[in-house]
């Protein structure tokens, strides 16, 4: 199934728990492509629920567990540690869900989420971790956009008790909203995400803090920061609480990635210290070669 209007909705009802940037964007995309007949939503923030309904990200809102009743698809769109707490709540209210229901999430780390799914979901409910590789430095339902997920690689990490039919249906859903499904084991996802998503966030933060620590931000320094610096550090404006949550739930692989990065910085530092032009050019050239591979995939 390619992106476009579904001839027939894949689900009668879905329930999105968490109506911020990602939950709102998912709701808008599901509605735009007619993937779900009826979209229900819940958020701890009553104002977010009102705005989500006003913007068309959901059709109805309700308190829990009422919002979950008969939902064939449940989407958890919140920070990872909150996802794990919400899964515990779902485990206590699983009778609300029909046989064959799918529980998925939009969190940035997967291993702990999938472990929690295995621990609390019964055999009749399939748990499938989800991570669309898309986002924004903005937050909240006001920033939600159906196009945020378009062409994004969308990782699916099945839990042990997942039914094959459920994975097929999630693949269909991802394709229907214009994203590209990729099935991975949860640990493999977390290791790769540490390198291509979580480490870059830390690097952007470190770059901006280095500028701040220079003590020159009240002079002309900020005006000298051109597009290169701005593009590299845009993501440093992301929500601090959300990112700390990601770092804590992927601590092992993030530390490994940091060690690789710090080793590379040491190599470059030594090139400068020893005036090793040949090695410096080699490292700069290697970076350009790898980056061109990324461009070719776009």
How would you write the pLDDT of the chain (298 residues) with one tens digit per residue?
Answer: 556 666 789 999 999 999 999 999 999 999 999 999 999 999 999 999 999 999 999 999 999 999 999 999 999 999 999 999 999 999 988 889 999 999 999 999 999 999 999 999 998 999 999 999 998 778 899 999 999 999 999 999 999 989 999 999 999 999 999 999 999 999 999 999 999 999 999 999 999 999 888 888 777 888 888 999 999 999 999 889 999 999 999 999 999 999 999 999 999 999 999 999 999 999 999 999 999 998 888 6
The dihedral region occupied by 34, where left means phi > 0, alpha psi between -120 and 50, and beta the remainder, is left
d(CA 168, CA 51): 32
pTM of the model: 0.90
For the domain 11-184, what is the CATH superfamily, name and number? NAD(P)-binding Rossmann-like Domain (3.40.50.720)
What are the start-end ranges of the E strands in 115-239?
A: 126-132, 153-158, 180-183
DSSP state of 223: H
* Interatomic CA distance for residues 135 and 235, integer angstroms: 9
Q: Which residues of 43-52 are buried (b: 16+ CB within 10 A; e: fewer)?
A: beeeebbebb
Q: What three-state secondary structure class fits 128?
A: strand
Question: Strands 60-61 and 36-42, how do they pair?
Answer: parallel
CATH of 189-297, one of 3.30.1490.20, 3.40.50.300, 1.10.260.40, 1.10.3660.10: 1.10.3660.10
Domain boundaries, given as residue ranges, for the chain: 11-184, 189-297
């Amino acid at each position: 199934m390619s992106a476009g209007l579904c001839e027939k909705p894949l689900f009668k009802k879905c329930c999105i728990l968490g109506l911020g940037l990602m939950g709102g964007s998912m709701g808008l995309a599901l509605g735009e492509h007619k993937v779900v007949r009826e979209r229900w939503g819940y958020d701890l923030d009553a104002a977010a629920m009102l705005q989500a309904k006003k913007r068309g990200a959901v059709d109805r809102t309700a308190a829990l567990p009422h919002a979950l009743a008969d939902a064939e698809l449940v989407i958890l769109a919140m920070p990872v540690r909150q996802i794990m707490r919400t899964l515990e709540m779902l485990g206590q209210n699983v009778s609300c869900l029909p046989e064959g229901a799918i529980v998925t999430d939009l969190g940035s780390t997967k291993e702990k989420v999938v472990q929690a799914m295995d621990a609390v979901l019964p055999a009749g409910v399939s748990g499938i971790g989800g991570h669309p590789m898309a986002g924004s430095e903005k937050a909240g339902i006001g920033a939600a956009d159906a196009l945020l997920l378009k062409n994004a690689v969308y990782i699916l990490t099945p839990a042990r008790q997942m039914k094959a039919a459920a994975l097929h249906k999630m693949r269909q859903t991802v394709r229907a909203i214009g994203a590209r499904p990729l099935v991975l084991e949860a640990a493999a996802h977390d290791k790769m995400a540490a390198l291509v998503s979580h480490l870059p966030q830390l690097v952007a933060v470190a770059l901006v803090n280095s500028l701040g620590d220079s003590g020159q931000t009240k002079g002309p320094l900020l005006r000298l920061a051109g597009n290169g610096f701005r593009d590299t550090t845009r993501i440093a404006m992301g929500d601090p609480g959300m990112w700390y949550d990601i770092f804590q739930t992927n601590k092992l692989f993030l530390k490994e990635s940091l060690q690789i990065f710090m080793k590379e910085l040491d190599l470059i530092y030594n090139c400068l210290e020893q005036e090793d032009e040949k090695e410096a050019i080699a490292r700069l050239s290697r970076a350009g070669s790898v980056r061109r591979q990324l461009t070719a995939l776009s």
